[in-house]
């Protein structure tokens, strides 16, 4: 996918974003905070990065647990895929 590909995974299990109940929305806040921390610690933002959360098999979600991909060090086009 890219020379650098990191994955941020919440400890609490939810299969997809839509499975996170409103009362547990802090899980998403913590996920994005962790992504920001990883990007900063690894100095990944110099040339940009792509953050991807796949939802469902047809979108490419192979692991049935909410997680975010941080993809770095390659040029990306739009639309993706």
By the 10 Å C-beta count (0-12 exposed, 13-18 middle, 19+ buried), 63 is classed as exposed
Give me the domains of the chain, ranges plus CATH numbers: 4-72 (3.30.428.10)
Q: Percent of the chain beyond pLDDT 90?
A: 69
Residue 81: pLDDT band (50, 70, 90) is low
Candidate list 13, 58, 67, 69, residue with the active-site label: 67
What's the mean pLDDT in 19-47? 93
- In this predicted structure, what is the pLDDT of residue 14? 96
Q: Known catalytic residue: 67? A: yes
Which pTM was predicted? 0.87
Mean pLDDT for the chain overall: 91
């Amino acid at each position: 996918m890219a020379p650098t590909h990191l994955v941020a995974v919440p400890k609490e299990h939810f299969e997809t974003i839509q499975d996170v109940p409103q009362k547990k929305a802090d899980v998403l806040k913590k996920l994005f905070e962790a992504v920001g921390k990883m990007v900063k610690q690894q100095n990944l933002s110099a040339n940009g990065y792509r953050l991807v959360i796949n939802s469902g098999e047809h979108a490419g979600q192979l692991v049935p647990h909410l997680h975010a991909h941080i993809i770095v060090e390659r040029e990306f086009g739009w639309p993706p895929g």
